[in-house]
Every structure is written in structure tokens, then in C-alpha cells.
Amino acid sequence: PPPPPGKIYSKSITHDTGHGKSYRVPKKTRDTWEKFIKYEYGEDVHISTDNGSFIFAHSTLLRIASPIMGNVVQQSKVKNCIRCIKILRFPHDAVFIFIRFLYSTCYNGYLKFISPCLSYCNYGEREMKKFVLPLLVLSHSYLVPSLRRVCTRLFEQDRLNLDNIIDVLQLGRNCDASRLIVVCIRMIVRNFITISSSEGWEVMRRTNPTLEQELLQYVCDADLITQ
């Protein structure tokens, strides 16, 4: 498994996450993770993805970062001392970022051990924004609440718009992302006239009429409060 990061973390505050200070993972540490995942550095897990590529990982770290992932690894077949698992139906790059995030959560645990005020490692934000939708699903599938919080924050920053808000709301409901659900509902209430005439709303009306009624009730309640 990768060695502990030692005293190489750097204090590069970008914003307050609401759970303490935000620290960037040093480039030296990120580069080490990249080598561990891309190349064979003592790995004992091969993760195959949709494009036929493999991501290398370490079972001990995966078990620490995600109990569900740990169970998947434990139940996988072993060939030449290597456990082989599959994460399909997601873009390869999204899976790669997901596994790299699991490494960061273990690093984050180390930071919290040496200083309890540290609660979040922030890096690769541009890459994460690109794949925020599949990352949210992966966070739910493998029970990684820290990643779900990061995805919610990315949506709040600039990934929500009037065209995708209905789809994101439904995805948030499926992934138990409670804060994201609240953010989406507020945005829908504020922009109801425009959103209710969108293609996303029409699809929701046909496929999920119960959700439409719930949203209409939120709009009515908001109107009553403002009167």
C-alpha cells in the first residue's frame, strides 16, 4: 500500500467548506497516487472499465475508503494474487477520478488524525466538474458520502442550469443527496415559469407525475409565503 504522506501537506486555503478549512493535496502526493493507479506499484486489485482499460489499486486502501468497495474486492476472483473487479457503465476517466478520490479520503483521514480541524482535501476540481454526474452515482453506489458532498458543492457552484435542473433533481433523489435536492427545488421555485416549459419538465411529467405534483405544491407554498 502507499506510504503515509508524512509532513508534506501544504496550507493552500481555497474556501471554507462548512466543515472546517479546505486544503489542497500537494502535487508530490497527487503524483504518487497517479503512479499507484496508472502503473503497477504493489497493487493487488485490477479494475476493468468500459473501454477495456485497467486501473490498478490496493485492496487495503479500497476497504478503508469504501466498505462496499471492500466487499466487492473481497468477493472477487483471484488470479496470480491479483483480485479482478469491474466498474462498468461509467466513463473510464470518471472511474479513474473516483478511485483517485478514494486515495484522497485516506489521505484526508491522515490529516484529521494529525489535526482534527482539517476535513476536506480539494484537488482536481476541473476534472471532477466534467464528470460530476457519474461521480455522484458512484458516490451513492459505493457509499462514499464525502464524494457526494463534493459533487453537491460542485453542482452548487456552477453545474446547475435551467436545462439540466430537473434531471439533476431526479438523480439527487435516486442518490439520497438531500442537500442537492433542496438546492434544486429552490432553483425550480425561483424559476418556475421558465423551467416548467422546458423539455426536462415535459419528460418528468410523463415519467414521474408524482414528482411534478410535489414540485407544484412547493411552488404553491412559496407563493402563499410571499403573499
pLDDT for residue 26 = 58
Mark the ranges of the chain whose per-residue pLDDT is less than 70.
Answer: 1-42, 106-124, 227
**pLDDT at position 120:** 37
Domains identified in the chain and CATH numbers: 1-159 (3.30.710.10), 162-227 (1.25.40)
Q: What whole-number distance in Å separates Cα of residue 92 and Cα of residue 109?
A: 26
pTM of the entire predicted model: 0.75
Q: What is the pLDDT of residue 30?
A: 58
